[in-house]
Amino acid sequence: MKIFVRVLVFLIVMAVIAVLAVFFGYKKMSFHVEDLLSLFKEKSEAVVKGQSKPVPVTVYLSYGGTMEGMLVKETETEYTIAWKNQEFVLDKSQVERIEKSDGAFGWIYGHDCVVKLKNGSVIDYEIVEVKPDKVVLSDSATGNDIRMEIDRNDIEHLLFKPVGNDESREIDKMLRRKFPDMDFYSEGNVTIVTDAYITWVKEYKKNIRIVTTEIYLEFFRIFKTRQPFFQNYIVIFDNYGDFVEHAIDEGVPGWAVLGYFNTDSRVTYLFNVLGDQFSKDIYEMIIGQTTRAVDAQAEMIKGYYGQDGHVNIMVDGHADNIKDKFWLIYNRIISECRQVTLSTLRHEFTHELFSNWGLQNIEVSRSEKSGRLNEKKKEILESKDMETKRQWLEDLIVYKSEINDLDLKASNSWIVEGLATYCETFPIGKQNDRWLFIFQEMIEKDEVYPLEVLNQYKMGSFPGMYEESVIRAYAQSWAFVVFLMEKYPDEFVEYMGRSASVTVRTDKEELELFLECLGKDPREIEKEFVKHFQENYEPLPDPNIEQLLYIRDLFKEFM
């Protein structure tokens, strides 16, 4: 009984916290928006007298056109829109719908990128230099070229101007048409489209802010001279079936991946591993079945001894103890699933960010294996066998997937996937035990690929390799980017910038450019690469064995 009481109390407490979080989150958001509108009022010349709070909006006209402006007045029959210092009165019959806009028209700052500090203030200066621990900003608009240095640790995140061009509007219209029941959340140059709970949306926003800020500052030298081509869009499905359906329609094996970046639509698509339905599946697999089995065994034992109160108390105590162990396993898996969702978000968004700024030329190559994909989808979605679902869950958590089914054409595979894996951790560049263990095994077995081998692949998923080789190529790409960022960051960033600025080259020319930027020959850099990991990284235990030992230790008292 105590476990149920504990769970009930926990759920009640969490429900109260959730209600308070939503309430206070809404209040905070409302205050922030009001502040922004107040600031915008001071700067805008298009504010109509008597309208104290103009609202930036996107107007979707009946004939198919759109316009962005400030909604300064609304009557029963008309909208008054301020646009380019003029007022336009639109009859409501001309308007299909009108929505609050986070578009470029509503941007209240003078620069395309502003710095938000942890104390809540925003610095509207231009970033002119990034040092290891400082960011240098300049305000040349006044003609005085005022400069200031701020600690990177004082920065909460950067905020980028929304991209309100025709292409971005077309992407927006396409997504609204395809996902009419999803909500759109825009902040700066990122729009999240999802049917997930608001608590998850806040988590997504937080991680996107962080990874965007880290990437921009870490690779500032190549980002500073470029502008994004379009608004960043991320669609996150809360329902696994919906994600699989959509992915397969695009030729992607949704049952084998957690997310992907489609450069045809210029949208990142992800599955929230802790979505409502999937969370229920995890609960049923780990807690539901176990609880019923343990309770059934306990009742059988108590029935054997009759109404002996002492025995009943002892049996119930042991049963609760066992069920508590499975709750620990459940919480550990939930934690892993959360990390899987967020690291996949960061990984795939890295692809979109570098592509959007013209630093990686990625194209999706469609899978032709639709028949097998649909069979696999049906097998997983319709299976009543919990063992099948449990195996599928395990595969997702340890990132086992047939990656070969999705090919990403790119300037160079190891850069594309090496950067994405480098950026999937928090903070970026943090030791990634999963990839490190695999690469350490490669070193131990003397199976590290020569540079010429990695360099020949022009698709992000290393097509043509066996699955085990693909995983090793990912691990070595991660390790190589880590090595370059730790030993030769300036040379590596220079190579990335030069590589993105030139047309397609042969494998030989690509490798020559890389070695020229580093000033090394291939054998020399390979030896230094391996030595770096041997000297600076402690050998890791097998993570699968570590998981088994954790479970064994939990149940040791019953053995």
pLDDT digits (tens, 9 = 90+) for 340-389: 889 999 999 999 999 999 887 655 444 444 445 455 555 655 566 666 65
8 Å CB contact between 464 and 508 = no
8 Å CB contact between 158 and 213 = yes
DSSP SS3 for 129: strand
Task: Look at residue 475 in the predicted model and tell me its pLDDT.
Answer: 92
Task: Look at residue 269 in the predicted model and tell me its pLDDT.
Answer: 95
Indicate the pLDDT class of residue 22, thresholds 50, 70 and 90: very low
Instruction: Give how many domains the chain has, as a whole number.
Output: 3
Which positions ≥6 away from 308 have C-beta within 8 Å? Answer: none
Give the span between the Cα atoms of 287 and 327, in whole angstroms: 7
Asked if residue 146 and residue 175 are part of one domain, the reply reads no
Indicate the pLDDT class of residue 90, thresholds 50, 70 and 90: confident
Indicate the pLDDT class of residue 64, thresholds 50, 70 and 90: low
8 Å CB contact between 72 and 47 = yes
Task: Look at residue 548 in the predicted model and tell me its pLDDT.
Answer: 64
Asked if residue 178 and residue 156 are part of one domain, the reply reads no
Most confident of 102-106, 208-212, 295-299, 311-315: 208-212
Asked if residue 131 and residue 225 are part of one domain, the reply reads no
DSSP 471-524: HHHHHHHHHHHHHHHHH-HHHHHHHHHHHHHS----HHHHHHHHHHHHT--HHH
CATH of the domain at 136: 2.30.30
Asked if residue 451 and residue 357 are part of one domain, the reply reads no
- Using the predicted structure, report yes or no on whether residue 189 has a pLDDT greater than 50: yes
Instruction: Work out the mean pLDDT of the chain and round it to a whole number.
Output: 77
User: Rounded mean pLDDT of 435-456?
Assistant: 89
Asked if residue 166 and residue 155 are part of one domain, the reply reads no
- Using the predicted structure, report yes or no on whether residue 449 has a pLDDT greater than 70: yes
How many CB atoms lie under 10 A from the CB of residue 88? 13
> Which of 345, 378, 404 finishes a domain?
404
Query: Six-digit token pair at 69?
Result: 């402006």
> Which of 160, 183, 199 finishes a domain?
160
Query: Tell me: the pLDDT tens digits for 270-316?
Result: 988 877 767 777 788 788 888 888 888 888 877 777 666 777 788 78
pLDDT higher at 453 or 50: 453
Which positions ≥6 away from 403 have C-beta within 8 Å? Answer: 256, 257, 461, 462, 467, 470, 471, 474
Task: Look at residue 547 in the predicted model and tell me its pLDDT.
Answer: 65
Asked if residue 559 and residue 516 are part of one domain, the reply reads yes
User: Rounded mean pLDDT of 390-410?
Assistant: 49
> Which of 160, 190, 220 finishes a domain?
160
Asked if residue 426 and residue 397 are part of one domain, the reply reads no
Task: Look at residue 328 in the predicted model and tell me its pLDDT.
Answer: 85
Report how far apart, in Å, the C-alpha atoms of 371 and of each of 104, 187, 242, 367, 388 are.
44, 39, 18, 10, 20
Query: Six-digit token pair at 461?
Result: 């998923």
Burial class of residue 87 (count of CB atoms within 10 Å of its CB; 0-12, 13-18, 19+): middle
Query: Tell me: the pLDDT tens digits for 417-426?
Result: 899 999 999 8
Q: Is residue 63 part of a domain?
A: no
Q: Where in the sequence is the domain holding 420, given as residue range(s)?
A: 410-559
Give the span between the Cα atoms of 34 and 123, in whole angstroms: 19
DSSP state of 285: I
pLDDT higher at 510 or 386: 510
Query: Tell me: the pLDDT tens digits for 171-188?
Result: 999 999 999 999 999 999
Asked if residue 472 and residue 366 are part of one domain, the reply reads no
